[in-house]
Structure 1
Amino acid sequence: MGQQDQQNHQTGSPIKVNLQHDLNWLLQSQPLMAATPEVDNFQPQDAFNQTHISTTHVHTYPAQPAYRLGKQFEDCVSHLFKSSPTHDIIARNIVIQTATRTLGELDIIYQNSRAQIVHLELAIKFYLLNKDGTQLMDFVGPAGHDRLDLKWDRLRQHQLPLSQTSPVLDFLQQQRLAKPTCQQLLLTGILFYAYENWQSTLIESIGLNPNHQRGWWLEHHELAQLEPIRGLERNFIVLPKWHWIGGPRHYIEPQMIDYEELVAFTTLDPWPNMVLMYERRQSHQPFIFKNRGLILATKKPPLVS
């Protein structure tokens, strides 16, 4: 839990988020993985209609540690469906229970513009590629508790097929819910690469969507790489967890910190910090958002194996 999240935990203040900013990011995002014969990627743009979108849609979430980024993402997708004239949510967060056990949960069942009943699974993830990594297993969560290959396999082999199993179909019938005829996946987010070559790193033949959104990462002892060169001003915003999705869209008139303040702030924090980088070349010009990255403690938590 980063410093801003810890402060929220201490104050206990509810977290207010304008989900419209997250939705605007989602509509410009790309799946992390390329579609396959067995996995159909959901395209948020297919359900989007500009005339039905509001500028503000504020949700309130509990303070840390009860706050969950995944719940915020689900609400963002729900906001998309509520504003869509062609796609309707039938049910969401459907817990599948039998007399003896819980079999799992379906994120969303919806009806599309062709009257198809679709089971949709959702996930937003932020993974960084270990230096010299070349495989899906080398993409790990910022705190080392998750891996892209494990998440991908879980979604493909368990979550998506779940809605076609007999116990789940029986349960849906008992609940008088429409049975899905197809499945879709919305696995989006950002993949982060080592700062020195984050824009040029290309990992092929492992199923990544080549158009996925990317950022950079570095450790505390590498922060000098962020120091602005002569003739360039560079400022930063350290994001609280509830702004990880929409990022710069949450900041119309951002209160930024300079490089020295960034170093002082992040090196005191053992947890990963996601930051936005802004630049300008003339003092009379506005700062322009350039990219986002992750700053990690030099000694990273052990990675799962």
Structure 2
Amino acid sequence: MSQPPYARQFSLAIYQYLASSQLLAGELPEAASWNRSQLAAVSLASLPELNFQQKLGHLYEDALYHLMQAAGVQVVARNLQIQSDRHHTIGELDFLIADGEQMVHLELACKFYLAVVDPAGNTTFPGPNARDNWQIKLNRMREHQLVLSKNPATLKTLQPRWPDASLTTRQLIYGYLFDHIHSSQLAGADFIHSSCPRGKWLYQDEFLQLENAGHQMYQLPKPLWPVNVTAELLELLEPSQPAAITSLDRACMIYNPLENQRYFVMPNSWPAELDHQPAS
């Protein structure tokens, strides 16, 4: 997206979210959550305006980097490519942090998943792009990204600059889990934090049936999808008309201030490979 007119305010909301929000995922066997206590003391007003002309993942990576710098965290490398040889890259380390005699490989993610129950009662967790889902992401992280620090190629890459440092891995997995609007209970998934941020999802043809569909709602710009929606932020956004929401050909995030609730409104065809009718 282009740089929004309220980039400064949006930037502050993202910084605040990264510094203090609840995480999507809890502790993983391969990597505990990174301790963010240092970030809480940062004066957010001193941080730079973010560049919104990039994908959400890169935007949040930049924001976390600025936060860590302001907190005095010694980031010695970003997106450090690990190669088995000069022709083959096997992965990259999102952040490499020097912490005394120890080096920390920090892996960052910001993801959104929707609980979909099939007619047999099985629950899956696809993302807005249904080719992505929580189990695929989790397996990828546990089997590749979070164990990359133990790969001989990684140790070989780090050895020349940090010959004596020990290496450990930490993770920060932000995001939201959405239950269907008619679901009678909250869905659970492997390693999802018990207090993770949650919302509701529904199809476009269900949106107008919402009890409060006629109430003033706001479409959140994608960079703000996960952030805490404050009254100050709402003043910067234009209310959305239901017809505009149901005519979109892509997923959109709607915030209802009356309920303090966010909704993921999905195209009726999503996900194409699954029956989109709610399970009974």
TM-score normalised according to structure 2 size = 0.84
Compute the displacement of 1:247 (Å): 5.2
Structure 1 residues 105-152: Cα deviation after superposition (integer angstroms, max 9, x where no partner): 11001134x6532101111101101035655xx111113120100101
CA distance 1:196–1:102, change in 2 (3 Å): same
Residue 114 of structure 2 corresponds to residue 128 of structure 1? yes
Compute the displacement of 1:14 (Å): 3.9
Structure 1 residues 193-249: Cα deviation after superposition (integer angstroms, max 9, x where no partner): 111347x41426x332111110100001111343429xxx83211122222232525
Q: Aligned ranges for residues 1-305 of structure 1 at < 5 Å?
A: 13-15=2-4, 16=7, 18-44=10-36, 46-50=37-41, 52-54=43-45, 57-62=48-53, 67-85=54-72, 87-97=73-83, 98-112=85-99, 116-131=102-117, 135=123, 138-174=124-160, 179=165, 181-197=167-183, 200-203=185-188, 206-228=190-212, 234-246=215-227, 248-249=229-230, 251=233, 253-257=235-239, 261=241, 263-279=242-258, 290-303=260-273
The CA distance in 2 between the partners of 1:222 and 1:20, in whole Å, is 34
Structure 1 residues 27-54: Cα deviation after superposition (integer angstroms, max 9, x where no partner): 332232331333211232x222435432
Matched residue SS, 2:144: helix
Compute the displacement of 1:303 (Å): 4.5
The CA distance in 2 between the partners of 1:169 and 1:126, in whole Å, is 33
Matched residue SS, 2:33: coil
Aligned to 1:3: none
Compute the displacement of 1:291 (Å): 1.7
Asked if the contact 1:235/1:256 (under 8 Å) is kept, the reply is: no
Q: CA RMSD in A?
A: 2.7
Matched residue SS, 2:229: helix
Q: Specify the code of the residue in structure 2 equivalent to 1:131.
A: V
Shifted more, 68-77 versus 218-227: the winner is 218-227
Matched residue SS, 1:299: coil
CA distance 1:145–1:37, change in 2 (3 Å): closer
Asked if the contact 1:23/1:76 (under 8 Å) is kept, the reply is: yes
Matched residue SS, 1:19: helix
CA distance 1:32–1:130, change in 2 (3 Å): same
Compute the displacement of 1:26 (Å): 2.2
Structure 1 residues 74-114: Cα deviation after superposition (integer angstroms, max 9, x where no partner): 012112201214x22111111123222112111001134x6
Asked if the contact 1:119/1:180 (under 8 Å) is kept, the reply is: no
Shifted more, 170-179 versus 75-84: the winner is 170-179
CA distance 1:96–1:277, change in 2 (3 Å): same
Asked if the contact 2:47/2:67 (under 8 Å) is kept, the reply is: no
Matched residue SS, 1:48: helix
TM-score normalised according to structure 1 size = 0.77
Structure 1 unaligned blocks of 5 or more: 1-7, 280-288
Q: How high is the sequence identity, in percent, across the aligned residues?
A: 27
